[in-house]
Amino acid sequence: MNQESIKNAVEASLIADSYLLGSHWIYDEEELKNLDIDWNELNAPCAQWHVGKEKGDFTHYGDHTKWLLDYVKESKTFDIEAYKQVWLKNMKNYKGYIDGACQETMQIIQNDATAVVGSNSHDLSILGRISPLLYVSDTKEVFLSNVKSFVSFTHNNKNVLHVSKLFASMLYDVVNGSSIKDALSTVTVVKEIRSAFDAGVSSQNQNTFDSIQHFGPSCDVEGGFEGTLHLLVKYDNFKEVMLQNAKAGGDSSSRGMIVAMLMGAEGCSIPPSWRKATKGI
């Protein structure tokens, strides 16, 4: 596989997360319009959920992505049992936001130390963290298997797994030379998510704020999936899609990290100031 494309996919997802930290989890339309931030640059977080974070930091999504990235770069492989220990060690003293998926997964492991399948969380966010697995997946089959293990470790939800397979398949194809447009047109869409897929793709000509509000701006894969597809089919400029996604509010980082890893794999141009301001890449 093209190692530069993998690197671009990983870095784009992390830079997107750092950019989106500023307005992440702001839902109120008036509050979004009046945020005291520079939409063209990275910002400190405005939401109470990210207390202690600063400009250039990641949300907890980016933090978890870095844990996976550091693990695969050191181990040169992906083993869910080994990664579980890395994850538990990092979670032990983690100061960032601990979401329901993590809390429930830790409880499951406390009750059964052998468990490698966690919560039933339907959050979309886990899907934006999968790009580091490309470094240790020689074939598409291996990549899809690694993604399934990684996702189900904390988000063992049928719809999340269906959507994760779709985006993972697209990502693998884009890293290997396909365009996002071609990957979208050829990816296998199982019947369980077909109507959501069609709704997202067909929203290309609609207003982004209205579309994401209509689909649902929250953390749920139902709505978040469609909103992410809207962004992918409507925009081909990294800065523009991130800005419009941020202004749409809600769980913007979940949508943005998925879009970013695909656009990064395709070789998009990322604002130099965003790259420079993002810590930890």
Q: What is the distance between the alpha carbons of residues 65 and 210, in angstroms, rounded to a whole number?
A: 30
Main-chain dihedrals φ then ψ at residue 57, nearest 5 degrees: -75, 170
123 - beta bridge partners?
A: 220
Average pLDDT, the chain: 98
3-state helix, strand, coil in the chain (%, to 5): 65, 0, 35
Structure token digits, residue 183: 């990957």
Q: Are 191 and 159 in contact (CB under 8 A)?
A: no
Confidence of residue 140 (pLDDT cuts 50, 70, 90): very high
Q: Please say if the pLDDT value at position 149 is more than 90.
A: yes
Query: 148: which 2 tokens?
Result: 């399934």
CA 231 to chain CA mean position, Å: 13
Q: Which tokens go with 77? A: 């492989």
Closest CA to 276 of 6, 20, 41, 90: 41
Q: Work out the angle at residue 21's Cα, subtended by the Cα atoms of residues 16 and 25, and round it to the nearest 5 degrees.
A: 115
Is the pLDDT at 81 greater than 90, yes or no? yes
7-47 per-position pLDDT tens digit:
999 999 999 999 999 999 999 999 999 999 999 999 999 99
pLDDT higher than 90, residue 1: no
